[in-house]
Amino acid sequence: MDPFMVGDGTDPIATFEHWFLEATKTEPNDPNAAALATATTDGLPSVRMVLVKKVDERGFCFYTNANSRKGQELAANPRAALCFHWKSLGRQVRVEGPVVELPAADADDYFHSRARESQLGSAVSHQSQPLVSREELERLVAEFADLHPGEVPRPEWWKGYAIQPQRIELWVSGPSRLHDRFVFLREANGWMKRRLFP
């Protein structure tokens, strides 16, 4: 089967969802991991790995500390790019577009679905800020756990974001570096599809 021909081949989200389902069976760890690129208002880029937790009508959704470097960059310049690379399948998906903040209820739901230890770590982390020692981090987690023996409160700065895709590129590895690449650009009446040179 042609990996690009999901349905009629004109909906990159449908193809992404099909590829992602395949990746859940072949990738050894975190098939939802993607490189997230953000930039400052003057164009200084930075990139890091995130876990994309949902893809729906709002876009590609992930969660993070809004006070982190990426959170600050998204606040100042709300555009981003994602790249999924599934080496086991020889496929990549690139996503670009504006970023919107998800409702607080979404952040609450996802935060409280995580393991308690992950919630505690997120609640005390001043992400991207200097840390004196590992022992300091462990002390903060233990103190916060003692203060909250029941439900861990979601910090107000722990938020969800969605990249609203305006451009999606689908890439399949080919022999002799003759890869197959298709780019989809969102237009008023749907997606415009073009084949690209590898």
| CATH number of the structural domain 12-104+158-196 | 2.30.110.10
Three-class DSSP category at 139: helix
Give the model confidence (pLDDT) of 92-115 as tens digits: 999 999 999 999 999 999 999 999
Residue 1: pLDDT over 60: no
DSSP 175: G
Task: Give the domain ranges of the chain.
Answer: 12-104+158-196
Catalytic residues: 177
Q: Are the CB atoms for 184 and 192 separated by under 8 Å?
A: yes
Residue 81 in tokens: 């790019």
Q: Are the CB atoms for 193 and 183 separated by under 8 Å?
A: yes
Model pLDDT, residue 9: 72
Give the model confidence (pLDDT) of 138-197 as tens digits: 999 999 999 999 999 999 999 999 999 999 999 999 999 999 999 999 999 999 999 999
The dihedral built from the CA positions of residue 142, 144, 148 and 153, taken in this order, carries a sign that is negative
Residue 53 in tokens: 């937790």
